[in-house]
Structure 1
Amino acid sequence: MTDSVATPAPPHPLLAATGVRKVYRTGSVEVTALRGLDLTVERGELVGVMGPSGSGKTTLLNCLSGLDDIDGGLVEVDGRDLFAMSDAERTEHRARTMGFVFQAFNLIPVFSAAENVELPLLLVGTAPREARARAVEMLGRVGLGHRVGHRPSELSGGEQQRVTIARALVARPAVVWADEPTGNLDSAMADQVMDLLRTLNRDEGQTIVLVTHDEAIGRRLPRLVRMRDGRLVADTARAAAVG
């Protein structure tokens, strides 16, 4: 009789959302923004989310990251039920495992680029010297090693968005959420930012979920999901991104 060898369980996906519902209430009026939505994102994926205005794209990002509460369903990030946590636990989990890039740069005007980037590390207790070293290193990786001491007003729009990307990545998050990251940029700067995000995904395996309204950007992404009326209506994976 031979000893049986247990088959190891397959690794869980980085993100697993099941039956997610979100309802906004104003007085007696209810608007259902997400309608029983299912989505799985594996480690190392770059996933785009597209859809018309009001389709629920930003709501989806906010609910999957725990910025907004949900009204039903399950969201697991890195194997943990996001909404089984207390508010404090969820805030700490988000700070340690997630990065955010928004259309508005949300940089602190009186801080230098390095000071803006190191802030997430300081908030989770990283020693100041280590935080500064990692911030400078990350700015170098996004092509801003020569701009570490500059304030946001001294940077172009594309450079400011690179600072926000460095800030999102400096804590080495499991996933980066990007909501219209090129929305405030001209086409040339938008291309530079998208090239940077694709490089970080391809070369470093950074998981990124990106909301965009731009069809040209959507065509360049390896996986694209489309939303309408709070539901996913298409999920297209490409063997290789275009462009």
Structure 2
Amino acid sequence: MNPPAPDRQRPLLAATGVRKVYRTGSVEVTALRDLDLTVLPGELVGVMGPSGSGKTTLLNCLSGLDDIDAGRVEVDGRDLFAMSDAERTEHRARAMGFVFQAFNLIPVFSAAENVELPLLLTGTPPGEARARATAMLDRVGLGDRVAHRPSELSGGEQQRVTIARALVARPAVVWADEPTGNLDSTMAGQVMDLLHTLNRDEGQTIVLVTHDEAIGARLPRLIRMRDGRLVSDTRRAALQPAG
């Protein structure tokens, strides 16, 4: 029996009154200021703002990578900060995928080995993990690169491997922090086309930080931040990949 379809009216992410303060000695810097945000299943949401506005801090707090000083964050129906550290780590491994500006691939591993690693760490049998990794690499256009190591791949191909790794466990949400930051404009466009396609065709929920106005202009929902606050939240009709 297939699992029930997600309730698209129930938020996948619900953050309420989130506050984050960084402290160095007697100095306090408030990075997030009583922030509220909801994201529905299947949304593709961009976060933009000037340097220091709190974009990366927001992603880190919403994913549970950083603690918060006040507020509540629920992802896929679970309160992240009501969990122990071990529970939160397990929830993150099973319900979340991550794509960063730095590819963070293991140099001595092949593309398939990099992609299957999250599955192996959560107890998936090796044969199943390899089959799912190979299928996901094919899905992102790297079916002929499964045995290649990162040094044998272009920057755009390496980022596709990281996207495959983020998606292979079938996460509820993918967090992407400047996923095109290390790519030229052509490769950046290809990576964004892939993310749009995965969102449109498979309903993958994606929340991404970008500084690129051209990328922001193509997103169906765009949030802007300043000084740790959300200052605008714009929804547009779904836009098609450029390619």
What's the CA shift string for 1:208-237, capped at 9, x where partnerless?
Answer: 000000000000000000000000000000
Deviation of the 1:117 alpha carbon: 0.1
Larger radius of gyration: 1
Listed one character per residue, the Cα deviations across residues 121-162 of structure 1 (whole Å, up to 9, x for unaligned) are 000000000000000000000000000000000000000000
Structure 1 residues 210-229: aligned runs within 5 Å = 210-229=208-227
Q: 1:67 to 1:161 in 2, by over 3 A?
A: same
Q: Aligned partners of 2:5, 2:46: CA distance in 1, in Å?
A: 29
Per-residue deviation, 1:72: 0.2
Runs of 4+ in 1 over 6 A off after TM superposition: none
Matched residue, 2:18: 20
Q: Give the SS at the match of 1:38.
A: strand
| Deviation by residue 1:3-37 (Cα, 9 ceiling, x = unmatched) | xxxxx999x31000000000001111110000000
CA-to-partner distance for each residue in 1:72-111, whole Å, 9 max, x for gaps?
0000111111100000000000000000000000000000
Q: Deviations over 1:171-212 (max 9, x none)?
A: 000000000000000000000000000000000000000000
> Which of 116, 127, 130 is residue 128 of structure 2 equivalent to?
130
- How many positions carry a matched residue from both structures? 234
How far apart are the structure 2 equivalents of 1:172 and 1:120?
11
Distance 1:69 1:75 in 2: 10
- RMSD of aligned alpha carbons: 1.8
Distance 1:93 1:176 in 2: 13
Unmatched segments (≥5 aa) in structure 2: none
SS at match of 1:125: coil
Distance in 1 between residues matched to 2:77 and 2:147, nearest whole Å:
39
Report the counterpart of residue 180 of structure 1 in structure 2: 178
CA distance in 2, matches of 1:202, 1:9: 16
Pick closer, same or farther for the CA change 1:55–1:145 going to 2, 3 Å: same
How far residue 239 of structure 1 moved from its aligned partner, in angstroms, is: 1.6
Identity %: 90
**Residues 9 and 220 from structure 1, CA distance in 2 versus in 1: closer, same or farther, beyond 3 angstroms?**
closer
Taking the aligned partners of 1:194 and 1:17, their CA distance within structure 2 comes to 26
Deviations 1:40-86 (A, max 9, x none): 00000000000000000000000000000000000011111110000
The separation in 1 between residues aligned to 2:111 and 2:28, in whole angstroms, is 42
Secondary structure in 2 matching 1:39? strand
Change (3 A) 1:154 1:43: same
| C-alpha distance in 2 between matches for 1:58 and 1:74 | 18
The DSSP-based 3-state class of the residue aligned with 1:145 is coil
- Residues 91-240 of structure 1: pairs in structure 2 closer than 5 A: 91-240=89-238
Distance in 2, matches of 1:91 and 1:203, equals: 29
In 2, Cα distance between equivalents of 1:122 and 1:30: 40
Aligned to 1:52: 50
User: Are the structure 2 counterparts of residues 126 and 180 from structure 1 closer, same or farther at C-alpha, using a change threshold of 3 Å?
Assistant: same
Q: Secondary structure at the match of 1:184?
A: coil
Report the Cα distance in structure 1 between the residues aligned to 2:206 and 2:75, rounded to whole angstroms: 13
Q: Distance in 2 between matches of 1:228 and 1:113?
A: 38
The 1-side partners of 2:108 and 2:19 are apart by: 39
